[in-house]
Amino acid sequence: MREIEDRGSWFKVRDQTTQPRSSFLAPRSSGFTLIELLVVLVLVSMAAALIAPRMPSTESMELKSSARTTATMLRYLGERSIGSKNIYRLRINMADNSLSVTRKLQNGDEIPPDDPLLSRKALAKGITIADLESPRIGKVTEGEVIVDFGAAGLPEFLTLHLCAAKGECYTVAGYPQGGKVKLLSGYQEVTL
């Protein structure tokens, strides 16, 4: 390859031939070596091995989320029934582990709520309602229980126990006429 240098009126032609260079002086190409990649993989694997056992399981997170959603639903139902002076009916079905809400009309008919928060599914798949307890009906472990939220909110103390397949549980306790709802970790007997 020839290169022409301009120096005023004189031109000089310089011959640049490629000469073999030693491997130590050769420019390094961009990228990573296999050793560098292996070291990074080992470090990432060690970090994952230390962190993974401390992370909560998916089932545990679904249980906690379901318990929070149920507590929020109870609190919101109480506030909504007090504010609108409507009667809302919470159906707790232990056979299919579901919570559903309807609004009771003056003629006795029930219609689905117009609020999306009350229409969504509260319990995740695999989360069961272990039991429900209230002073009026005692402890119920099967069937369906209907709780009416009237102009004063939740009419009586209510305790729900939600459990996951591995036995971990959460307790949701709703207090009457104040809208207070407590979410407690574990299966706990709560009294008024």
Sketch the domain layout of the chain as residue ranges: 59-185
- pLDDT the model gives residue 103: 93
- pLDDT the model gives residue 171: 96
Q: Cβ of 11: how many Cβ atoms within 10 Å?
A: 9
Strand order in the sheet with 98-104: 110-111, 98-104, 87-93, 144-149
Position 107, amino acid: N
Most confident of 15-24, 64-73, 106-115: 64-73
Give residues with Cβ within 8 angstroms of 152, minimum separation 6. 82, 176, 177
The mean pLDDT of 75-97, rounded to a whole number, is: 92
CATH architecture of residue range(s) 59-185: 3-Layer(bab) Sandwich (3.55)
Least confident range of 25-29, 53-57, 60-64: 25-29
Q: How confident is the model at residue 16 (pLDDT cuts 50, 70, 90)?
A: low
CA distances from 112 to 16, 78, 120, 145 (A): 86, 17, 11, 18
Give residues with Cβ within 8 angstroms of 103, minimum separation 6. 86, 87, 88, 89, 110, 111, 112, 113, 114
Point out which residues pair with 101 in neighbouring strands.
90
Q: What is the mean pLDDT of the chain?
A: 85
